[in-house]
Structure 1
Amino acid sequence: MLDAAVLTFARRGYRAASMDEIAEVAGVSKPLVYLYLNSKEDLFSAVIRRESAALVAALTAAVEPGAAADRRLWSGLKGFFSHTAEHPDSWAVLHQQARTHGEPFAREVAAMRAEIAEFVTDLIGAAAKEAGCAGELAEREVAGVAHALIGAAESLAEWANARTDEGASGEWEHSSAKDTAATMMNFAWAGLGRLMGGARWTPGGLVDRVGPPGAVG
């Protein structure tokens, strides 16, 4: 039933989707759907929680333990983009539907993003520590970079999935996830490397730290 609900909500939208249609897709009776999930609102909330947990699990499981900071971020991004490419209906529900229909759905997605943000913040903090400049990056600055990275990754996943929907093969999708992660790393890591090396942008231009910057993994 949850699989049928994901597909229906993604393709019809929350408001247009009906319990009758979800029951038909699932191959069960409408009363059975109501018996287990009470209402369309409860069903949608259950879908958001399940799909959020699956996305977070895919991201965290993909990170290479013990690897250098850039490899951990790279592998996490690959896990994120692979999951969103392989489950486009799930991503549509989380990124398009759940965030646009108010409480309690937006709150469920916000909880997922907060969990991902904490995870990415820890990755960037570890990278700063590896670079020998952990004390120079304020906690707020690290958290801000993490949130900016998440927002960019979400937007890039939306763009990549729109291209995938044009009828490409599964092999192309797998390659696309890797290429998309590389695009994200090329966008983000060069800037992070300069930041961890002590460089700061100001309205007067880029200012480098005096002395040799710490090496970034």
Structure 2
Amino acid sequence: MGGARTKRMPRAVREQQMLDAAVRIFGQRGYMAASMDEIAELAGVSKPLVYLYLNSKEDLFTACIRREATALAEAVRAGVRTDLPADRRLWDGLQAFFAHTAEHPDAWSVLHLQARTHGELFAAETAAMRKELVAFVTRLVAIAAREAHRDPDLPEHEVAGLAEALVGAAESLATWANSTEGVTARQAATTLMNFAWAGLGNLMSGHPWTPPAGDA
């Protein structure tokens, strides 16, 4: 059994092993179908030890969400160099996002699919991570506007809306890329960059699209 394989090691290391196993099981089987027995077995520990460290299945899942949300946000921030032009910052941020979600598909499943559909508490945890990403992208869009040759002085609500749209598109595209054979992180980032930057370029150069006259 899993308990027979337990070896002495620092609690922090053992806990990370449990979280690694839990992310894999939750990501592949879903929150409801995942069992603490499976998680303990994969982690190489006894089920009572999992409960001792992480209290309950709900607390374990919450810990997984928090750890993976932090890792994703840190990866995106670390991927952006502030000394580069605006388009390059956005490109690097997108590459970092898609690279991380591709390298950690179970974690992305936990964050984007499982956490959002199994209770308000879990949804609130992943919403906090998303809010942080949107704020980061909002700053990138605002910087791009300021650095444009003809700064259009975009209204704050429009900058925020663009950031929301971009993050939403990235989330959907990451899920699609992870489930579509042959799509690399670089290809996903290129697709979104082509989609987003062309529109941003027109907006910042003073050529926004406007609805036809008479539309509500």
TM-score, normalised via structure 1 length: 0.87
* Structure 1 residues 56-80: Cα deviation after superposition (integer angstroms, max 9, x where no partner): 0111101122000000000000000
* Structure 1 residues 118-175: Cα deviation after superposition (integer angstroms, max 9, x where no partner): 00000000000001555630000000000000000111111110024xxx6xxxx7xx
Distance 1:50 1:203 in 2: 43
Q: Does 1:28 align with 2:36?
A: no
Q: Does 1:93 align with 2:110?
A: yes
Provide the residue aligned with 1:190 in structure 2.
Answer: 198
Q: Give 2:187's match in structure 1, choosing from 154, 168, 179.
A: 179
Q: How many residues were matched structurally?
A: 196
Distance 2:29 2:151 in 1: 47
Report the AA paired with residue 177 of structure 1. A
* Structure 1 residues 158-213: Cα deviation after superposition (integer angstroms, max 9, x where no partner): 1110024xxx6xxxx7xx111111111000000000011112222228xxxxxxxx
Distance 1:120 1:184 in 2: 14
Q: Does 1:202 align with 2:210?
A: yes
Q: Does 1:146 align with 2:163?
A: yes
Pairwise mapping of residues 50-65 of structure 1 onto structure 2 (< 5 A)? 50-65=67-82
- Does the 8 A contact of 2:151 with 2:205 survive in 1? no
- Does the 8 A contact of 1:48 with 1:93 survive in 2? yes
Report the AA paired with residue 138 of structure 2. T
Distance 2:38 2:124 in 1: 26
Listed as ranges, the gaps of 5+ residues in structure 2 are: 1-17
Give how far 1:3 is off.
0.3
Q: Does 1:43 align with 2:43?
A: no
Tell me: CA distance 1:160–1:148, structure 2 relative to 1, closer, same or farther (3 Å): same
Report the AA paired with residue 35 of structure 1. L
Superposed CA RMSD: 1.4
Give how far 1:23 is off.
0.5
Distance 2:202 2:208 in 1: 8
Q: Does the residue aligned with 1:17 lie in a helix, a strand or coil?
A: coil
Provide the residue aligned with 1:6 in structure 2.
Answer: 23
Give how far 1:11 is off.
1.1
- Does the 8 A contact of 1:125 with 1:134 survive in 2? no
